[in-house]
Amino acid sequence: MIDQLWEWIAIAVGLLVVFGALVVGLVRGRGGRTRQGPASGRTGGTDVLPGVGDDATPPRDAPKRSVEDAGSVDTLPAPGQPETLPEVEPTPTLERPASAQGRLTRLRARLSRSNSALGKGLLALLSRGRLDEAAWEEVEDTLIGSDLGVEATTELVDRLRTQVAVEGTTDEATVRGWLREDLLRLVDPTMDRAVASSRVEGRPAVVLVVGVNGTGKTTTVGKLARVLVAEDKDVVLGAADTFRAAAADQLETWGARVGVPTVRSDRDGADPAAVAFDAVKAGAEMEADVVIVDTAGRLHNKVGLMDELGKVKRVIEKQSPIDEVLLVLDATTGQNGLRQAEVFAQVVDVTGIVLTKLDGTAKGGIVVSVQRKLGVPVKLVGLGEGPDDLAPFDPEAFVDALLD
């Protein structure tokens, strides 16, 4: 009986030892995982392994995220990779217009080729061995055909006939000298051909540009801006041609190429007088040297359109005096251009003429006739399609080009 009791005691002790070992192992296993990492804040209470999940401590060499990068994993560069900077739009390079000085001289070859009828044609006639009445009539026809005008032609021929009769020679060099002197007198180098481009009494000079459709008026405004920028002037453009849809865009493009701002309306068909007023006002606020206002092309025989041009002028003058009104004429239109000039002069006080396409005509006499008709000088001439082919008019270079 006693032996059986000891057997039961031994069995119980063995079971207690085994159970105790199991409990110790279980407790150690739970305690080791708990020390390595607490449970995350996610629902479900899932244990978190070291270095994984929201609560993991990032490596010391991990890239830092800025406030701007918050919430965007894609903006972070991979470890060890250089940070990619955002692309920056390149600053457009402004063009440097060619100096206006000597442009007409530089383009003399082009002008002399197109005006051979007035220059070389006359020299060929005048240097003949004998000048009878038929020859002098041919000289007159040549001059009138070059748009010199009847009055100027008569004056020139009378002077030449007197010189030939007095000197008794038709030597080509001598005749050329006489012709140059007489043509230069007709072109009149004493006229003031400077374009208003400097501040006047603390305000910008205001230049109003007018003309009919097709004369290249808006292009002329853009080229004039280049001429003035080349002279280091601060220029503001006013796109008051609100009837032609592309006019404001065209002018703005011209200005942007040389860093000149353009004041324009946001809608087509806006009041051109209001745009012109705003342009002059903006020029004053920017302390610009000159404001150039482009206007819509007018048909000189349309009374309503011409009246509207008069309104543009009056509205501008509420803000500032107008210092220059440039009339753009197509040199190839001849006598029709003179009729246009007369009508415009009645509506606005034209102070200067811009002759475009002078390289495309043999009628260089238009320079003389338009000056006589209006009593104002030709100030600028267009001699090609290039951006710097608008030149300040130089009477001596012009006459020399005719006779080359």
- Is 295 labelled a binding residue? yes
Q: How far apart are the C-alpha atoms of 255 and 309, rounded to whole Å?
A: 23
DSSP class of residue 200 equals B
- Is 223 labelled a binding residue? no
3-class SS shares of the chain: helix, strand, coil, % to 5: 50, 10, 40
The residue from 187, 215, 245 where one domain ends is 187
Assess if residue 9 is contained within a domain: no
254 shares a domain with 112: no
- Is 160 labelled a binding residue? no
Average pLDDT value for the chain: 78
Q: How far apart are the C-alpha atoms of 257 and 384, rounded to whole Å?
A: 19
pTM: 0.74
Assess if residue 323 is contained within a domain: yes
- Residue 360 confidence (pLDDT) above 70: no
368 shares a domain with 256: yes
The residue from 187, 215, 248 where one domain ends is 187
- Is 84 labelled a binding residue? no
Assess if residue 97 is contained within a domain: no
388 shares a domain with 244: yes
Residue appearing with tokens 């990779």? 81
Alpha carbons within 13 angstroms on the beta-carbon side of residue 369 total 27
- Is 404 labelled a binding residue? no
122 shares a domain with 257: no
Assess if residue 175 is contained within a domain: yes
* CATH code, domain with 232: 3.40.50.300
Tokens at 148, concatenated: 């010199």
- Is 173 labelled a binding residue? no
155 shares a domain with 218: no
- Is 382 labelled a binding residue? no
- Is 85 labelled a binding residue? no
Which residues on neighbouring strands pair with residue 325, listed in sequence order? 208
Assess if residue 54 is contained within a domain: no
Domain encompassing residue 368: 205-394
| Per-residue model confidence as pLDDT tens digits over 38-62 | 333 333 333 333 333 333 444 444 4
Residue appearing with tokens 């002790």? 13
- Is 356 labelled a binding residue? yes
- Is 336 labelled a binding residue? no
- Is 141 labelled a binding residue? no
Maximum C-alpha span of the chain = 178
Supply angle C-alpha 64, 90, 96, rounded to 5: 150
Q: How far apart are the C-alpha atoms of 296 and 305, rounded to whole Å?
A: 9
Looking at the structure of the chain, the number of domains it has is: 2
| Per-residue model confidence as pLDDT tens digits over 24-43 | 555 455 444 433 333 333 33
265 shares a domain with 164: no
- Is 217 labelled a binding residue? yes
The residue from 152, 187, 222 where one domain ends is 187
Predicted local distance difference test score (pLDDT) of residue 65 = 37
- Is 294 labelled a binding residue? yes
Residue appearing with tokens 């399609």? 385
Assess if residue 400 is contained within a domain: no
Q: How far apart are the C-alpha atoms of 30 and 34, rounded to whole Å?
A: 6
- Edge-to-edge order in the sheet of strand 290-295: 262-263, 235-240, 290-295, 205-211, 324-330, 352-356, 378-382, 390-392
Assess if residue 293 is contained within a domain: yes
- Residue 192 confidence (pLDDT) above 80: yes
- Is 212 labelled a binding residue? yes
219 shares a domain with 172: no
- Residue 78 confidence (pLDDT) above 50: yes
Overall average pLDDT of the 15-32 stretch: 57
182 shares a domain with 306: no
288 shares a domain with 155: no
| Per-residue model confidence as pLDDT tens digits over 311-341 | 999 999 999 999 999 999 988 887 778 888 8
Least confidently predicted of 108-112, 178-182, 333-337, 339-343? 108-112
342 shares a domain with 226: yes
pLDDT higher for 56 or 274? 274
Least confidently predicted of 113-127, 185-199, 266-280, 344-358? 113-127
* CATH code, domain with 170: 1.20.120.140
332 shares a domain with 212: yes
Collect all residues with Cβ–Cβ distance below 8 Å to 229 and sequence separation of at least 6: 97, 235, 258, 259, 260
228 shares a domain with 143: no
| H or E element at residue 403 | helix 395-403
Q: Of the candidates 389, 380, 383, which has an alpha carbon nearest to the alpha carbon of residue 360?
A: 383
Collect all residues with Cβ–Cβ distance below 8 Å to 135 and sequence separation of at least 6: 125, 128
- Is 296 labelled a binding residue? yes
Assess if residue 33 is contained within a domain: no
